Amino acid sequence: MAERPEQEIPEQEIEVLLDEQRAYPPPEDFRRQAWIQNESIYREAAADPEGFWAAQAERLEWSRRWDRVLDWKPPFARWFVGGKLNASVNCLDRHLANGRGDRPAILWEGEPGDRKTLTYADLHREVCRLTNVLRGLGVGKGDRVAIYLPMVPELPVAMLACARIGAPHSVVFAGFSAQSLRDRINDAEAKVLITADGGHRRGGIVPLKAISDEALENTPSITGVVMVRRTGEDVPMVAGRDHDWAELMEGAADTAEPEEMDAEDVLYILYTSGTTGKPKGIVHTTGGYLTQVTATARAVFDLKDSDVWWAAADIGWVTGHSYIVYGPLALGVTQVMYEGAPDTPNRARLWSIVERYRVTCFYTAPTAIRAFMKWGTEHPAAHDLGSLRLLGTVGEPINPEAWVWYHREIGGGRCPVVDTWWQTETGSIMATALPGVTTLKPGSATHAFPGIALEILDRRGERVEVGGGLLAITKPWPSMLRGIWGDEERFRETYWSQWKDIYFPADGAHRDEDGYFWVMGRVDDVLNVSGHRLGAAEVESALVEHEAVAEAAVVGRPHEIKGEGIAAFVVLRESASSRDGLAAELKAHVARAIGPIARPDDIVFAADVPKTRSGKIMRRLLRDIAAGKAIGDTTTLADPAVVQKLREEYGDED
Ligand code: PRX
């Protein structure tokens, strides 16, 4: 049995949030033009959630209509039972059939400044060609394809080609290490890997092909590699295994039959961190997923034909899957896609892009907003951001100061800011404002999306009307995960064992007197670094791989920009010769083992890792130490007497 997460809701944070009295009603001109102008949608959806979701599903193109909206045998839901459709047809073919093939789909900008526009017709042609290429490499319905690409147009093309074939894709964020890529390929038993020679990042090059080659040293399921040339560097190709994307595409036909998929066929797997070292392959299926990402993209971001959408996120995470690829493309909107870092070549890069493409709706993470704040208002002020009409955030709690800054400095005080709470597992937005309806409170994700049964419960499952507790989703929703790839037991244990037949997201939250939700963060041993989830256990296992390390315990600590930083408490082996330079070496070691995002901020050498009598790491104590609350100078933790004293003060945490 996995451990039950402790419920730890920082009291301080609750007080700060309760002090937050500012309120922002929807601007009247925004409300008047919004898709949703009336609160009645909440009542209607609550009265008949299945009817509400069926109406949303009607916006998609189905080759066979469903027989039943929902079949719920907890914890397994089937949505739109008997319905048939193809996701790539919904994102491409139907727009062409409606005479919208010439609309720009993707306005792409590379980090070095190169630009490309793909219309829906262009995208359709590329996807069909790649479909033929992949079929030629033996990829068929049900085969898994791993994708390890930078933010280039070939990435959405690859995903949609997989969707056309019915081959679940597993996109691996291009910042992950060879080991992380290998683990994900092996867990999904992917047949083909699609990668690039490299990607541009912060003025340098990430050598993706070299990393892939290292990963592929031990991946028996892989039979072929397709490589996009992005940087043009000379890279070794393995004969018989590696193929050049452009060469294969040249000879491929421009049309390709889509596979008719069942609503419940797997669309993709996306790996996310959990409380144990092994990442979980979150499984999403086709009909329900597409229904909810489309419904939320439309209602929350209010997207219209006249909009230019920009989710400044990476497709390697779920935000990009749902709100760069599937949601916006299913709606047929025009969007910006940017390859690189926000501070390359300078800190005004994103604002120059907003100005150039007249971006109207912009979505990013609080960690980015805090960085923009730190960089100073002169960067956004140097550009005309007058085209913006809506802003959004996702990934972690946003502190009210950052919210207000974003509203004022980026949105010019006129754009609603939608704070959207959801997870890799939920597939789409679950809590959010509706920008034409909701009075916003900075720092609050406000309300459940219509048709979503979001509650706050205590540990026993009693409903909390006003006050703090655990977030819970009490009814199935269309884009919910259908499982963890290959591990039903872990699926039940992780999400469905806290309460009976109720989904447990492992977030703490509270609800105020007006019924607004305030999400406060994880209650388990998962860190949220810059809006991305990392398992403490993953970082710990990377650390103990190092020859100098005997034991490690990793916790989060507040970080001004990243939200949460990583503090690692490390016990050295007696054989470890010297501590000189070791902290830097260990940081670099973790970055190599998992990826730069996992690089610890602090390494604290300790005499031992404080544990309870039953052997559980005393994480609350370590968190307080890392946050500077327990003792001033953390380096003294190397003294066994100090550890002993702290352990006594904190008592047994069992
Ligand atoms: O803790 C919550 C936080 O991010 C977690 C989900 O992480 P991931 O699966 O990587 O997906 C991120 C993008 C959807 C949640 O359990 N989180 C996400 N959005 C918010 C948030 N916390 C507070 N407010 C949010 N808006």
d(CA 270, CA 485): 9
Give residue 625's pLDDT band: very low, low, confident or very high (50, 70, 90).
confident
| Nearest atom, ligand 1, residue 522 CA | 1
Q: Mean pLDDT across the stretch 23-46?
A: 97
Is residue 507 in contact with ligand 1, taking CB distance under 6 Å?
A: yes
Structure token pair of residue 172: 């691996």
Q: What tens digit of pLDDT does each residue of 306-327 get? A: 999 999 999 999 999 999 999 9
Q: Using the mean position of ligand 1's atoms as its centre, give its distance from the Cα of residue 187 in Å.
A: 24
Report how far ligand 1's centroid is from the alpha carbon of 247 (Å): 40
Give pLDDT, residue 620.
85
User: In this prediction, what percent of the chain has a pLDDT beyond 90?
Assistant: 87
Return all residues near 493 (Cβ < 8 A) that are at least 6 apart.
1, 2
Residue 653 confidence class, pLDDT cut points 50, 70, 90 = very low
Summarize the confidence of residues 318-344 as an average pLDDT.
Answer: 98
Atom of ligand 1 minimally distant from the CA of 425: 9
* CB of 505 sitting under 6 A from ligand 1: yes
Confidence bin at 634 (pLDDT 50/70/90): low
Whether the model clears a pTM of 0.85, i.e. scores above it, the answer is yes
Percent of the chain with pLDDT over 70: 95
| Residue 396 near ligand 1, beta carbon < 6 Å | yes
State the pLDDT at residue 16: 47
Q: Which of 618, 602, 620 is nearest to 610 (CA)?
A: 618
| Ligand 1 atom 22, closest CA | 396
Looking at residues 546-555, what average pLDDT do you find?
94
pLDDT of amino acid 8: 46
Spacing, Cα 409 to ligand 1 middle (Å):
24
Of 151, 190, 150, the residue nearest 170 (C-alpha) = 190
Residue 9 confidence (pLDDT)? 45
- C-alpha distances (whole Å) from 185 to each of 164, 403, 425, 597, 650 are 21, 38, 20, 20, 43
pLDDT tens digits for range 230-240: 999 999 999 99
| Non-local CB neighbours of 561 within 8 Å, separated by 6+ positions | 367, 370, 371, 374, 530
Any ligand 1 atom below 6 A from CB of 271: no
152-171 pLDDT, tens per residue?
999 999 999 999 999 999 99
pLDDT of residue 94: 98
Q: Is 296 in the pocket of ligand 1 (CB under 6 A)?
A: no
- Ligand 1 contact, 421 CB (< 6 A): yes
| Ligand 1 in reach of 397 Cβ (< 6 A) | yes
- CA–centroid distance, 531 to ligand 1, in Å, is 7
What pLDDT does residue 12 have?
42
- Residue pLDDT, tens place only, 266-289: 999 999 998 887 899 999 999 999
DSSP 566: E
pLDDT given at position 614: 76
164 touches ligand 1 (CB under 6 Å): no
Phi–psi pair at 71, nearest 5 degrees: -125, 115
Q: 269 forms bridges with which residues in the sheet?
A: 170, 283
Band of the pLDDT at 609, cuts 50, 70, 90?
A: confident
Q: Is the pLDDT of residue 357 over 80?
A: yes
Give 241 Cα–ligand 1 centroid separation in angstroms.
Answer: 38
Q: Is the pLDDT of residue 25 over 70?
A: yes
What is the maximum span of the chain, computed from C-alpha positions, in angstroms? 75
Output the 3-class SS for 173-198: CCCCCHHHHHHHHHHHCCCEEEEECC
Tokens in use for 295?
A: 């419904």
Contact between 359 and 387 under an 8 Å Cβ cutoff? The reply is yes
- Average pLDDT of 68-92? 98
pLDDT at position 651: 59
Going by alpha carbons, the residue nearest to atom 5 of ligand 1 is 423
Q: Distance, CA 521 to ligand 1 centroid (Å)?
A: 8
Instruction: Using the mean position of ligand 1's atoms as its centre, give its distance from the Cα of residue 508 in Å.
Output: 11
Phi-psi region of 616 (alpha: psi -120 to 50; beta: other; left: phi over 0): beta
532 C-alpha to ligand 1 centroid (Å): 8
Q: How confident is the model at residue 100 (pLDDT cuts 50, 70, 90)?
A: very high
User: What is the C-alpha separation between 197 and 211, in angstroms, rounded?
Assistant: 10
pLDDT value for 612: 76
Residue 595 pLDDT > 80: yes
- Nearest atom in ligand 1 to 393's CA: 26
Residue closest via CA to ligand 1's atom 3 equals 396
User: Would you say the CB of residue 446 lies under 6 angstroms from ligand 1?
Assistant: no
Mean of per-residue pLDDT scores for the chain = 94
Predicted local distance difference test score (pLDDT) of residue 3: 40
- C-alpha to C-alpha distances, 636 to 103, 510, 565, 572, nearest whole angstrom: 63, 37, 21, 15
| Ligand 1 site, residue 523, Cβ cutoff 6 A | no
Ligand 1 centre distance from Cα of residue 313 (Å): 13
Tell me if 610 CB under 6 Å of ligand 1.
Answer: no
Nearest alpha carbon to residue 470 among 8, 4, 75: 8
Question: 347: which residues sit within 8 A by CB, 6+ positions away?
Answer: 375, 376, 379
Q: Is residue 654 predicted with pLDDT exceeding 70?
A: no
Q: Is the CB of 323 under 6 A from ligand 1?
A: no
For residue 423, the CA-to-ligand 1 centroid distance in Å is 5
Split at pLDDT 50, 70, 90, the class of 607 is: confident
What's the CA gap between 333 and 128, in Å, rounded?
Answer: 20
- Name the band, by pLDDT with cuts 50, 70 and 90, for residue 635: low
Of ligand 1's listed atoms, the one at least distance from the Cα of 432 is 26
pLDDT of 18: 54
